[in-house]
Amino acid sequence: MAARKLGPRTPRLAGAANRTAQVDGLVCAGTATVAEALARIDRATPNLFQIVVSADRRVLGTVTDGDVRRAMLRGVGMADPVTRCMRATPILGRVGEDVTNAVLLRRAWFLPVVEKRGRLDHVLVQRRFEQPMNHALVMAGGFGRRLGGLTRDTAKPLLEVGGRRILDRVLEQLELAGVGVIHIAVHYKAQMVKDFIRARNNLAQMSFIEESEPLGTAGAIAQLANRIDEPLLVTNGDVLTEVNFRSLGEFNARHGYDGTIAVSRYDTQVPFGVIRQTPDGAFAGIDEKPSVTHFVAAGLYYLSPEFVALAPRGRAVDMPELLMLGANAGLRIGLFPVHEYWKDVGRPDDLVQAGRDFGAPKGAPTRKRPTAGKKKRARR
Q: Each residue of 336-346: pLDDT tens digit? A: 999 899 999 98
Residue-level pLDDT at 132: 64
Residue 364, pLDDT > 50, answer no
Overall residue count recorded for the chain in this entry: 380
Residue 365, pLDDT > 60, answer no
Please give the single-letter amino acid code of residue 290: P
Residue-level pLDDT at 334: 95
Which tens digit of pLDDT belongs to each residue from 210-265? 999 999 999 999 999 888 889 999 999 999 999 989 889 988 988 889 999 999 98
Residue-level pLDDT at 250: 85
Q: Which residue has the higher pLDDT, 17 or 352?
A: 352
Which tens digit of pLDDT belongs to each residue from 142-187? 999 999 999 999 999 999 999 999 999 999 999 988 899 999 999 9
Q: How far apart are the first and last CA of the chain?
A: 61
Residue 202, pLDDT > 50, answer yes
Residue-level pLDDT at 127: 62
Please give the single-letter amino acid code of residue 200: R
State the number of CA atoms in the 13 A half-sphere of 285 facing the CB.
4
Which tens digit of pLDDT belongs to each residue from 87-100? 999 989 999 888 88
Given a contact cutoff of 8 angstroms between Cβ atoms, the answer to whether 336 and 251 are in contact is yes
Q: Domains plus CATH for the chain?
A: 3-126 (3.10.580.10), 135-377 (3.90.550.10)
Residue 21, pLDDT > 60, answer no
**Residues whose CB is less than 8 angstroms from the CB of residue 149 and which lie 6 or more positions away in sequence, other chains included:** none
Which tens digit of pLDDT belongs to each residue from 110-138? 899 999 888 999 998 876 555 668 999 99
The number of beta carbons lying within 10 Å of the beta carbon of residue 369 is: 17
pLDDT-based confidence at 368, cuts 50/70/90? Answer: very low
**SS3 at position 210:** strand
Residue 8, pLDDT > 80, answer no
Residue 18, pLDDT > 50, answer no
The number of beta carbons lying within 10 Å of the beta carbon of residue 320 is: 12
Which tens digit of pLDDT belongs to each residue from 43-87? 876 778 999 999 999 999 999 888 998 899 888 989 999 999 999
Residue 207, pLDDT > 60, answer yes
